[in-house]
């Protein structure tokens, strides 16, 4: 009898096939990282074509008739629980890919690369018209993809794309979650801003040398347990975490006028990186060893950045690292330093937003991208709608300021529609997880203040990191916290910290 793990079994053949796909994915990830960090501008066209070719090759392998037949055969083989979960994730990848024609995969890859590359120059130039021209093609192709997926899945077009990032989540779930958020967040934001108006806060005085900021970044990454044998940090136009679990690439951007934005960006991306670096390694290249979902990924980065790094306990150990690089100054006095990092001030830029106003940035983008994919609005409607929602949610004006308005994010340039909601879902998961950590580790505050982060990391490793995609998201969270997603913990966290 052939073992399910035998190379000649259907499941054994599938494991070999997905290992091969993961190796192509490795090359694609590193070439994509290079494109956003070190590649000279003249290399854009050739690199875009090479990446498109690679994406078509991966698509061909994944969607081949033989792959579908192997999946059907493997379903009948005797598999243990972990292999069965791996097979489930293989099937999900296959189904997601098989419904989209190869020509659309290539066209979308090329249009996205062209739009993203041009955006890097168009954003600083505030060139909305130039950007919109490229974005129209990306939106057109994304709508085509959404329509194909929606017909196959029997969902709305937007839900079909949302499912790629957050399996099982529907916009009806988001409407319920965000609908509740809207009932209390604006009032909380106003109350916090009013409370902090009576709490003076000094701003650190620069300039802050960029090399010195980089040294501070490295110190904080080391404190947070980043494995430098399996990753590195660089500079890009938009901070991100990329690469593969064995070689994680994170980026930030520095500003010599202030250092906290880059520093907290580093903490955020290190949260992503720690998750990647601690995913299960006993099934390399297999879908079950990948991150569970985008919101779970965001929960790890936001747990690091918001729950941990903006908390007073952690700021007490972060402050000496900042002083070691920039020297003593009144703004770095302990009480002021904590206030500085817990300051709530509605602003234009999402990645710089405090954790109270951040969900407003996400809801704005979700509402616009959903309307765009469903065909309710067109690309040319975005700036006015963006301004209207910024006024409504945050009381800010973006008329004519495309650079810091609707052109600030990289996500839409390559058609990542359905991604934005995962940031706030991630913040909610992070609050729920951190609540459970506190319950499980009564001495957590003392440990953090003493610079001992290992108990926290051990809990995350045991409950989230090591499981990869073994469990559906609701099961993963319920196993870790005792219940599926409950937004109550996010509200309690914000009220507790800021009021």
Would residue 367 count as lying in a domain? Answer: no
pLDDT tens digit sequence for 164-185? 999 999 999 999 999 999 999 9
**pLDDT exceeding 70 applies to what percent of the chain?**
99
**pLDDT score for 2:** 47
272 is in an annotated binding site: yes
Would residue 391 count as lying in a domain? Answer: no
Residue 240 clears pLDDT 50, i.e. is over it: yes
158 and 232 part of one domain = no
132 and 47 part of one domain = yes
Vertex 149, ends 145 and 152: CA angle to 5°? 145
pLDDT tens digit sequence for 111-136? 999 999 999 999 999 999 999 999 99
**Which phi and psi (to 5°) does residue 255 adopt?**
-135, 120
Per-residue pLDDT band at 238 (split at 50, 70, 90):
confident
Beta-bridge mates of residue 231: 248
Would residue 199 count as lying in a domain? Answer: no
The residue segments making up the domain with residue 280 are 210-342+422-498
Would residue 393 count as lying in a domain? Answer: no
Answer with the one of 129, 144, 163 that is the final residue of a domain.
163
Q: What three-state secondary structure class fits 65? A: helix
Vertex 447, ends 446 and 451: CA angle to 5°? 115
pLDDT tens digit sequence for 244-258? 999 999 999 999 999
**pLDDT score for 311:** 97
240 and 313 part of one domain = yes
35 and 122 part of one domain = yes
**pLDDT score for 146:** 98
The predicted model scores a pTM of: 0.94
> Which residue among 77, 269, 276, 355 is the active-site one?
269
pLDDT tens digit sequence for 63-113? 999 999 999 999 999 999 999 999 999 999 999 999 999 999 999 999 999
Would residue 243 count as lying in a domain? Answer: yes
Residue 1 clears pLDDT 50, i.e. is over it: no
Region 141-149: mean pLDDT is 98
269 is catalytic: yes
- Tell me, what DSSP letter sits at residue 243? E
Distances (CA, A) of 367 to 115, 392, 463: 22, 13, 33
**pLDDT score for 4:** 65
299 and 426 part of one domain = yes
**pLDDT exceeding 90 applies to what percent of the chain?**
95
Residue 292 clears pLDDT 50, i.e. is over it: yes
312 and 435 part of one domain = yes
Contact present, 208 and 323 (Cβ < 8 Å): no
**pLDDT score for 6:** 79
Contact present, 277 and 226 (Cβ < 8 Å): yes
The helix, strand and coil proportions of the chain, stated in percent and rounded to the nearest 5, come to 70, 5, 30
Contact present, 156 and 150 (Cβ < 8 Å): yes
Q: Determine the Cα–Cα distance for residues 147 and 149; give it in Å rounded to an integer.
A: 5
Answer with the one of 148, 163, 178 that is the final residue of a domain.
163
155 and 243 part of one domain = no
pLDDT tens digit sequence for 397-438? 999 999 999 999 999 999 999 999 999 999 999 999 999 999
**pLDDT score for 5:** 73
158 and 215 part of one domain = no
CATH number at residue 429: 1.10.1370.30
Would residue 382 count as lying in a domain? Answer: no
Token output for 69? 């037949």
pLDDT tens digit sequence for 29-55? 999 999 999 999 999 999 999 998 999
Q: Domain count of the chain?
A: 2
306 and 438 part of one domain = yes
**pLDDT score for 209:** 97
Q: Determine the Cα–Cα distance for residues 347 and 342; give it in Å rounded to an integer.
A: 14
- Tell me, what DSSP letter sits at residue 202? P
Residue 323 clears pLDDT 60, i.e. is over it: yes
Average pLDDT, the chain: 96
Region 468-497: mean pLDDT is 97
268 is in an annotated binding site: yes
Would residue 54 count as lying in a domain? Answer: yes
**pLDDT score for 3:** 55
């Amino acid at each position: 009898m052939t073992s399910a793990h035998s190379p000649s079994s259907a499941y054994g053949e599938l494991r070999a096939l997905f290992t091969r796909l993961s190796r192509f994915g490795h090359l694609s990830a590193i070439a994509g990282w290079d494109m956003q960090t070190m590649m000279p501008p003249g290399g854009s066209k050739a690199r875009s074509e090479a990446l498109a070719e690679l994406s078509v090759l991966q698509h061909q392998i994944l969607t081949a008739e033989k792959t579908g037949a192997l999946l059907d055969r493997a379903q009948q083989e005797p598999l243990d629980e972990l292999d069965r979960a791996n097979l489930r994730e293989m099937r999900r990848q296959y189904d997601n890919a098989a419904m989209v024609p190869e020509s659309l995969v290539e066209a979308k890859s090329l249009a996205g690369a062209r739009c993203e590359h041009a955006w890097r120059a168009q954003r600083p130039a505030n060139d909305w018209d130039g950007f919109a021209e490229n974005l129209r093609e990306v939106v057109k192709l994304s709508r085509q993809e959404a329509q194909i997926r929606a017909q196959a899945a029997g969902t709305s077009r937007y839900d079909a794309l949302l499912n790629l990032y957050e399996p099982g989540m529907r916009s009806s779930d988001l409407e319920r979650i965000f609908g509740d958020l809207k009932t209390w967040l604006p009032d909380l934001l106003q109350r916090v801003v009013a409370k902090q108006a009576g709490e003076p806060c000094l701003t650190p005085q620069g300039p802050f040398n960029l090399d010195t900021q980089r040294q501070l970044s490295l110190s904080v990454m080391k404190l947070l347990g980043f494995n430098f044998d399996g990753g590195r940090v660089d500079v890009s136009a938009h901070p991100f975490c990329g690469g593969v679990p064995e070689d994680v690439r994170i980026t930030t951007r520095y500003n010599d006028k202030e250092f906290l934005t880059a520093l907290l960006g580093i903490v955020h991306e290190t949260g992503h990186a720690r998750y990647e670096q601690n995913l299960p390694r006993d099934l390399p290249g297999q879908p079950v060893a990948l991150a569970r979902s985008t919101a779970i990924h965001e929960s790890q980065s936001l747990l690091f950045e918001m729950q941990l790094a903006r908390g007073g306990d952690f700021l007490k150990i972060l402050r000496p690292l900042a002083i070691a690089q920039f020297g003593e100054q009144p703004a770095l006095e302990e009480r002021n330093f904590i206030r500085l990092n817990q300051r709530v001030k509605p602003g234009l830029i999402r990645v710089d937003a405090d954790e109270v106003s951040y969900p407003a940035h996400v809801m704005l983008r979700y509402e616009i991208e959903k309307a765009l994919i469903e065909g309710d609005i067109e690309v040319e409607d975005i700036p006015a709608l963006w301004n209207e929602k910024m006024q409504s949610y945050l009381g800010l004006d973006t008329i004519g300021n495309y650079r810091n308005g609707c052109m600030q994010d990289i996500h839409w340039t390559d058609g990542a529609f359905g991604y934005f909601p995962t940031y706030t879902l991630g913040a909610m998961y992070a609050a729920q997880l951190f609540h459970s950590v506190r319950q499980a580790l009564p001495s957590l505050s003392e440990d953090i203040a003493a610079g001992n982060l290992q108990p926290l990391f051990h809990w995350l490793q045991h409950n989230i990191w090591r499981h990869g995609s073994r469990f559906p998201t609701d099961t993963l969270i319920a196993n870790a916290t005792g219940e599926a997603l409950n937004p109550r913990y996010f509200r309690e966290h914000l009220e507790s910290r800021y009021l």
